[in-house]
Chains A and B, each alone.
Chain A
Amino acid sequence: MQWDIVIGLEIHVQLATRTKIFSGSSTAYGAEPNTQANAVDLAMPGTLPVPNEQAFRYAVMFGLAVNAEIERRSVFERKNYFYPDLPKGYQTTQLERPIVGPGYVDIDLANGETKRVRIHHAHLEEDAGKSLHEDFHGMTGIDLNRAGTPLIEVVTEPDMTNAEEAVAFAKKLHGIVTSLGICDGDMSQGSMRFDVNISLKPSGSETLGTRTETKNLNSFRFMEQAIAHEVERQMDILEDGGTIVQETRLYNGDRDESRSMRTKEEANDYRYFPCPDLLPVEIDDAFIEAARNSLPELPDARKARFMEQYGLNDYDAGLLAGDSKLAAFFETTAERGKDAKLASNWVQGEFSARLNAEEKPVADSPISGAQLGDLVVRIADNTISSAGAKKVFEALWTGENDNVDAIIDAKGLKQVSDTGELEKMVDEVLASMPDQVAQYQQESDPKKQKKMLGGFMGPLMKASRGQGNPKLFNEILLRKLGT
């Protein structure tokens, strides 16, 4: 049987406010456990929450960025359950009147199409603390530094039909919140966490199947794997005539396996009710307009500008514009390098590959956009070949030297572009390969000819000790071989 996959996402986005959503404690990551938890965060008796205006501003900015209605009178509710990392015994969150109403985000797909993913709503809430099960033998440690960190939880409609779309949406959302500057986007530190709701239905059917929720995926790769894993699991069950149990599942990315966390029957009755310690928050036009005026350039606008200003194609512009830090890096490289297309190739190629291989964010790159720009200049003006450029890149990355021209000199990478000298080399090589020359000249298929041309390049590069300009060699060869 053919199955349609239905995917909806819930994304927890930690807001980059300086202090917590209801207390003055710092939200900085990585401090000693419980050093950033004051009496309010510890839920000491008699303490009360005081809303952090910045969290509301960020939530409104997010709402505007995803084309959503802003709720003018948003209400906080208590979600009641007991857990040691939830100090009050309830989470302060929103249910009936979330701050961000319905909106949408357009995503670009690999086939060149654009797809609209609707956002059901996004609400403000506080994060819980952390339970540390590993560090204490037979006991659980509680770290409340994270307790009270502001989050927006973004809930999509079930508009995605495969892992590619879900990941494209997740990346797009990552680009939006980091461009807005409302989240640092560091997924390894839990700044963005994804829950994936998946169900299958017979192809073309209107009725949704029973869904499962896979929680707390903290990388795009795990998200992709988890979706593939869960789709396969559900498909196996359905094709064997079984039924899907509505449940929450945990995915282990290292082992590519998942297990049930709790079923619907085991779910808590959270007994939501409006929090009497917090009055409804009134958001007026002035607040919304101020937030609108503070919106920076967003990925979609940036993409359009990259196509216009740098002449990039849709795909390249979309990739570079999606991540604000990568976009800024590219712009520095392009402006310094004076060749946007070449800058784009290098930023997306060698540079991004190297970051991925070392699992580094753009901010931790050992080379700057200006350095890569200098490298682009030397590629564009034929001072070095692309093979030579890779060696320069390597030297910059490892910190061997920080000056492009100094590396080119030290490594003797400057190309020979003196045509007289190159012609001499071509003559010598052709003279030493008479059979191949004859074969080439007898060949009538230009495709095969092109391939045979490559056979002369090897000896030529060898003769020039790798420093001959390959583009010029090519031109001379074509002329000498008489085509």
Chain B
Amino acid sequence: MHNKSVAELSRELESGKISSVELTREYLGRLKKEDEQLNSFISITEEQALADAHAADEQRAAGKATPWTGVPFAHKDIFCTNGVATTCGSKMLANFVPPYDATVTENFRKAGAVCLGKTNMDEFAMGSSTESSHFGATTNPWGLSQGEKRVPGGSSGGSAAAVAARLVPAATATDTGGSIRQPAALCGVTGLKPTYGRVSRYGMIAFASSLDQGGPIARSAEDNALMLNVMAGFDPRDSTSIDRDVPDYTATLNEPLKGLRIGLPQEYFASNLNAAVEEQIRGAIREYEKLGATVKEVSLPHADLAIAAYYVIAPAEASANLSRFDGARYGYRCEDPKDLMDMYTRTRAEGFGAEVKRRILVGTYALSAGYFDAYYLKAQKVRRLIQQDFIDAFQEVDVLMSPTTPSPAFVQGEKSNDPVTMYLEDVFTVAINLAGIPAMSVPAGFVDGLPVGLQIIGDYFSEARLLNAAHQYQQVTDWHQREPQ
């Protein structure tokens, strides 16, 4: 049962072969047992899940089911869940129980899906390894059979690891600079970062507001489509969400790929790329050619500036977004503050981890009088150039393809003391966030028994085309079906 996709589970529930309560019990049992070595969940909401499963079975019996009614899944612990602790992986919010749902949370609730709990993440989504969580690191299920504890990527490492280990068939995630695609790649699952504004950010705890975007992680492109059908849409509570019709993303999955024009950005196949990874990606592209696609090399001239621009803009926004965590109204407050300044300084010194503090400091510096023009304004100019690179590229091709990461999952602890090396994990992913376009990571092979991800990048609002391209590839390959031992 645990190997079934969302689409399959939905059909089984519909046929009456299994009830949501039975399914939920089975998943919960497996989750509680298997997650001890992975630590992919921060909280498991068993009672609530079973109550929701009961309600879902009644809905289905009443003939009021959606494809999601009764299907188990999990939320990244960055989405606010009414009445359920939402920690963002931080000590600062370890005790925070929101009195409201995120729009994404509300959408899944309305669709009748059964949330089993909240998945682990880098603190405030700042990281590429899910090692900076206050609730401990998550372990990648791949590599365990070799006796190694490898990172699942981050920041949505809990969601990716849980889906890879079949603890849930699907999980929500967020992506500010690669936080859906990089963990999806490292865990051998499929993930999609939608166009900025496609999925509401209301109730999704902000890291960098102009870059953050919620999206799905599941094993197949088809399940990603089913998730996006629930997640996407205009939300009057988010002024940056875009009022544009949401297509049925499953409707176009089976379109043939004949004539699809694929561009390979030459800058993403440069010297820092692991040769074995490149070989796997080249192999995937040959599959696309067999499916009728044409391939050409393109250039993104400002690609090498993306990391620098990103690590100014994202921390700058974060430095303001995280100011609200001051100990005054909710969340962590230090013991016995002497005065206001003491409350602020100790609350924030004790409540935030090292990486979050590093980024707040970097962002504060970049916005300071005398530095603003050289850093923040310059980075915004670079951002527009990067955006223009993509706009130009999409004049020539329909999608771009590249590796999602330069190398497969690394061993825990290997990069945690070297922030710059850690930041380079996102070298192929951050530009997509700066441009605001959608991109996926699709399992495309293995190197030394570890998954490799193919990144497929599209023009604004081309999610349906990306899902179609990924789905067609998954009809002729089985990388996404491989199960870690």
A complexed with B: yes
Q: Tell me the A residues contacting B by CB distance below 8 Å.
A: 39, 42-51, 78, 80, 82, 84, 87-90, 140, 142, 269, 271-273, 276-279
Chain B hits for A42, CB < 8 A: 329-330
Say yes or no: A89 contacts B326, CB within 8 Å. Answer: yes
A41 and B240 CA atoms in complex are apart in Å by 19
State whether A87 touches B324 (Cβ < 8 A): yes
CB nearest to A144 among chain B residues: B329
20 contacts between A and B (CB under 8 A): A45-B88, A45-B96, A45-B205, A46-B206, A47-B203, A48-B238, A48-B240, A49-B239, A82-B344, A87-B324, A88-B324, A89-B320, A90-B323, A272-B367, A273-B316, A273-B317, A276-B208, A277-B239, A277-B240, A278-B240
Partner of A88, one of B202, B203, B323: B323
Pair A48/B328 contact, Cβ less than 8 Å? no
Contacts of A49 in B (CB 8 A): 239
A46: chain B residues within 8 A (beta carbon): 79-80, 98, 102, 201-206
Contacts of A140 in B (CB 8 A): 340
Across the interface, which residues of B come within 8 angstroms of A78, CB to CB? Answer: 320
Q: Is B93 an interface residue (CB 8 A)?
A: yes
Taking CB atoms, residues of chain B closer than 8 Å to A80 are 319-320, 323, 367
In the bound complex, how far is the Cα of B340 from the Cα of A140, in angstroms? 10
CB of B476 within 8 Å of the partner chain:
no
Q: Chain B: which residue is nearest A83 at the CB level?
A: B340
Contact A45 B98 (CB under 8 A): yes
Tell me if B209 counts as interface (CB < 8 A to partner A).
yes
Q: How far is the CA of A88 from the CA of B330 in the complex (A)?
A: 12
Q: Does B376 contact A (CB under 8 A)?
A: yes
Counting chain B CB atoms within 10 Å of each CB, which of A46, A90, A140 scores highest?
Answer: A46
Assuming the contacts A50-B236, A277-B209, A279-B240, asked whether A87 and B329 have C-beta atoms less than 8 A apart, the reply is yes
Residue of A nearest to B340 (CB): A84
Q: Which residues of B contact A90 (CB under 8 A)?
A: 320, 323
Q: Is B140 an interface residue (CB 8 A)?
A: no
Q: Which of B201, B208, B320, B376 has the most chain A CB within a 10 Å cutoff?
A: B320
Q: Decide: B320 and A278 in contact? CB cutoff 8 A.
A: no
Q: Which residues of B contact A45 (CB under 8 A)?
A: 80, 86, 88, 93, 96, 98, 205-206, 324
Question: Of residues 369 to 388 in B, which have CB atoms within 8 Å of A's CB atoms?
Answer: 369, 372, 376
Q: A85 — nearest CB in chain B belongs to which residue?
A: B328
* Chain A min CB distance to B6 (Å): 25
B156 at the interface (CB under 8 A from A): no
> In the complex the two chains form, is B324's CB within 8 Å of A276's CB?
no
For residue B102, which residue of chain A has the nearest CB? A46
Report if A43-B367 is in contact (Cβ < 8 Å); known contacts: A50-B236, A276-B209, A276-B210: no
Report whether B239 and A273 are in contact in the complex, using a CB–CB cutoff of 8 Å: no
Interchain CA distance A118-B209 in the complex, whole Å: 38
- In the complex, chain B residues whose CB is within 8 Å of the CB of A269: 368-369
Interface residue from B206, B316, B326 paired with A82 (Cβ < 8 Å): B326
Residues of B within 8 A of A88 (CB): 320, 323-324
For B98, list chain A residues within 8 Å (CB): 39, 44-46
A50, B237: Cβ atoms closer than 8 Å:
yes
Q: Which residues of B contact A271 (CB under 8 A)?
A: 319-320, 364, 367-369, 372
Given contacts A47-B203, A78-B320, contact A279 B344 (CB under 8 A): no
B239 touches A48 (CB 8 A): yes
Query: Which residues on A sit within 8 Å (CB–CB) of B317?
Result: 273, 276
When the two chains form the complex, which single residue of B88, B201, B320, B344 contacts A48, counting CB atoms closer than 8 Å? B201
Q: Are B324 and A43 in contact (CB under 8 A)?
A: yes
State A84–B343 Cα separation when bound (angstroms).
Answer: 11
A39 touches B323 (CB 8 A): no
CB distance from B376 to the nearest CB of A (A): 6
Of all chain A residues, which has the CB nearest B208? A276
**Could you tell me the distance in whole angstroms from the C-beta of B143 to the nearest C-beta in chain A?**
33
17 more CB-based (< 8 A) A-B contacts, given A46-B98, A271-B372: A44-B99, A44-B100, A45-B86, A45-B205, A45-B206, A46-B102, A46-B203, A46-B205, A49-B239, A50-B239, A51-B239, A78-B320, A90-B320, A142-B328, A271-B320, A277-B240, A279-B240
Among A48, A89, A278, contact of B324 (Cβ-Cβ < 8 Å): A89
Residue of B nearest to A270 (CB): B369
User: Given the complex of chains A and B, what is the CA–CA distance between A43 and B369 in angstroms?
Assistant: 26
Given known pairs A39-B100, A45-B96, A48-B239, the reply for A82 and B80 (CB within 8 Å) is: no
